[in-house]
Amino acid sequence: MAKEAQQAQVARAARRVVLIDGIPVVTLGCVALALGSSPDQSATQKAWWIAATGMFALAVAWVLLRAFRRADEYLRKVQLESMAIAFAVVLVALQVGTVLDSAGVVQLHQLTQPILIGGLAIWQVTADLRTRFNR
């Protein structure tokens, strides 16, 4: 029983660390999405949007690197499988967006950022649920 309690504490601590690392990434993603939403941007606004998007990409890479270095073999497997699921969802969503763009329903560039941010959310939720219920 003590070993199970210790494993539960380790799992909670790992999720807490990922949450603490992930909050700035989610914030940067929302800022980049908000900055890129304006149709008529000045050069300064475009520069801020490009900077926020670049910082978002670097922050995602940094959080991934830290998470993989911290993880054991099982968690690495869970993360890679969760990434594969999210990648498949993003690919299907982009294909649907392309079809909708071809049909003239909605423009693809309006859907690209929400699809990518949704893919990150699906990856995180899938990894969290698999970690909670399979350990």
* pLDDT tens figures, 51-104: 888 998 898 888 888 878 887 888 888 888 999 999 999 999 999 999 999 998
List own/partner pairs for 93-98 with CB under 8 A and 24 or more apart.
93/118, 93/119
Give me the pLDDT at residue 86, please. Answer: 94
Encoding tokens for residue 17?
């660390």
Instruction: Round the average pLDDT of the chain to a whole number and report it.
Output: 85
Contact predicate 131/17, CB 8 Å: no
Residue 119: CB partners within 8 Å, gap ≥ 6? 86, 87, 89, 90, 93
Q: 1 pLDDT band (50/70/90 cuts)?
A: low
Q: Which of 10-14, 76-80, 125-129 has the lowest mean pLDDT?
A: 10-14
Look up the pTM and report it.
0.61
Percent helix, strand, coil in the chain, to 5, is 90, 0, 10
Among 129, 115, 127, 133, CA closest to 64? 127
